[in-house]
């Protein structure tokens, strides 16, 4: 199942990690929630193939550890989502539809 494009309405903001907003539910290590707002990554379905990180022309993503998560032990975090130019390359290359970019959410946290 792809990332919920309405996560801001359907999920609760539960905190922040590395300056990135986290949307729950969160119950580590199995359930890590959605990270980011303008550029959002569903950590629970991310398989960390790295395509988004490699293809992003403005280096929005960085690797972070997610030890014990059933899908992958690392994730791509939208650490620099404020740099996003809304090109949607990350959305297009994600094989599991774990990323959502919404220009309407830019600047919101």
**Would you say 38 is a known binding-site residue?**
no
69 labelled ligand-binding = no
Report whether 80 belongs to an annotated binding site. no
Whose CA is closest to 74, among 40, 24, 29, 15?
Answer: 29
Residue 46 marked in a binding site: yes
Distances (CA, A) of 71 to 21, 64, 83, 89, 95: 21, 14, 27, 22, 13
52 is in an annotated binding site: yes
Q: Residue 35 annotated as binding?
A: yes
Count of CB atoms situated within 10 Å of the CB of 90: 25
Binding site per annotation, positions for [4Fe-4S] cluster: 56, 84, 87, 90
Positions at the binding site for Zn(2+): 35
List, as residue ranges, the binding site: 35, 46, 52, 56, 84, 87, 90, 94
């Amino acid at each position: 199942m792809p990332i919920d494009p309405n996560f801001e309405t359907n999920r609760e903001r539960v905190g922040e990690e590395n300056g990135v907003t986290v949307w729950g539910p969160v119950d580590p290590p199995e359930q890590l929630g959605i990270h980011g707002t303008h550029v959002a990554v569903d950590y629970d379905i991310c398989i960390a193939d790295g395509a988004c990180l490699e293809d992003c022309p403005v280096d929005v993503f960085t690797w972070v550890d997610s030890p014990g998560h059933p899908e992958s032990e690392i994730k791509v975090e939208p650490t620099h989502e404020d740099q996003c130019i809304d090109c949607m390359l990350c959305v297009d290359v994600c094989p599991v539809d774990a990323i959502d970019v919404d220009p309407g959410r830019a600047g919101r946290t």
